[in-house]
Amino acid sequence: MRDIVAIGGSAGSVEVIRTICRGLPADLQASVLIAVHVGSIGQDLLGRILDADGPIPAGTAVEGEPLERGRIYVAPADHHLVVDDRTIRLGRGPRENMSRPAIDPLFRSAGISAGPRAIGVLLSGMLNDGASGLADLKRCGGVTVVQSPLDAIEDEMPRTALLASDIDYRASASDLAGLIGRLIEEEAGPELSPPANIALEVAIAVGRPSDSSVIAEIASPVPLSCPGCGGTLSQIRRSPLRFRCQVGHGYTAEALAQEQEDAVDEAIRIALRVIGERVVLMEKMALEARQAGRTAAAASFDERALELRGHADVLMESALDR
């Protein structure tokens, strides 16, 4: 029998989670752990909502509490939720894919702690948090499930998970509770030895100090910079393609590309503002020189202002083309 169900989702997933939890039996012989992207100042309302929905008791996870079957545990804001054997751990480790809580640490920890007794379920969301965690959960012998992309409000997370590894099942929101119930009742597969590199990433999420020597155990340096801290990124030595910096910030390739895109846009905006200010300054200096009868200096300032306007036009055209 499988007794750990880890569910992750982002945009468009809350109603799916409510549908799943309402559809599970009241005598569920498994613990359900849920990580949803809520940011650092979330109100931790989902646990109360699920508890009111019934039929299974639900609440926000608490550090150190023992896992009980027939209960639902929701990750609190600004904390990674992981399971350590039969104990809840809440981590303030580095963000993964700009999120804390992130989905990948939960999936990895479920795989490490429960192996073939774990079920990972990835729901609607943007970008691809959860894809590598599902792949790691499967490496530990667990069963992987995604919401059908055609059924998801935001299809990117389930779709990229299907591309990242050999997912066992996909189902619509209305069918997920029944599928999870059947998977719980099935006999679990054989125990596998969990890879040490997966366990290390779970430890980083919980808060293990990370530096270049720690990251070198699981990744190789590449000429890329971390958007979060500016440190050097290293490429994780297992699929799907993703990166960590020396302090532990984690990014999938897609999340990193999005962060770089945002950084380029911000750089263009800053450059346009600085150039605009330089144009104003050159024009004022030209006016002052002209009033003082320094015509050559005024012409030089006018020429410089014209050049700067040309630079601004090029940057604006580049920004509009993006």
Question: At which residue do the structure tokens 């399971």 appear?
Answer: 83
Measured CA to CA, the distance from residue 7 to residue 311 in angstroms comes to: 50
DSSP label at residue 149: G
Alpha-carbon span 61 to 13, nearest angstrom: 19
CATH of range 4-185; options 3.40.50.180, 3.30.1780.10, 3.30.70.20, 3.20.190.10: 3.40.50.180
Per the DSSP assignment, residues forming a β-bridge with 66 are: 87
Q: Look up 10 and say whether it is catalytic.
A: yes
User: Per residue of the chain (322 residues), what is the pLDDT tens digit?
Assistant: 999 999 999 999 999 999 999 999 999 999 999 999 876 556 789 999 999 999 999 999 999 999 999 999 999 999 999 999 999 999 999 999 999 999 999 999 999 999 999 999 999 999 889 999 999 999 999 999 999 999 999 999 999 999 999 999 999 999 999 999 999 999 998 888 889 999 999 999 999 998 999 999 999 999 999 998 999 999 999 999 999 999 999 999 999 998 888 888 888 889 999 999 999 999 999 999 999 999 999 999 999 999 999 998 888 887 666 5
Q: Are 98 and 58 in contact (CB under 8 A)?
A: no
Distance in angstroms between the alpha carbons of the first and the last residue of the chain: 51
Report the relative pairing of strands 80-84 and 87-91 from DSSP bridges.
Answer: antiparallel
Catalytic residue, candidates 129, 136, 151, 155: 129
Residue 301, both tokens: 């300032």
| Cα–Cα distance, 202 to 80 (Å, whole number) | 10
Would residue 37 show up in a list of annotated catalytic residues for this protein? yes
How far apart are the C-alpha atoms of 106 and 88, rounded to whole Å? 10
- Assigned token pair, 321: 């083309």
- Of the candidates 13, 37, 99, 109, the residue annotated as catalytic is 37
Annotated domain spans of the chain: 4-185, 209-248, 256-321
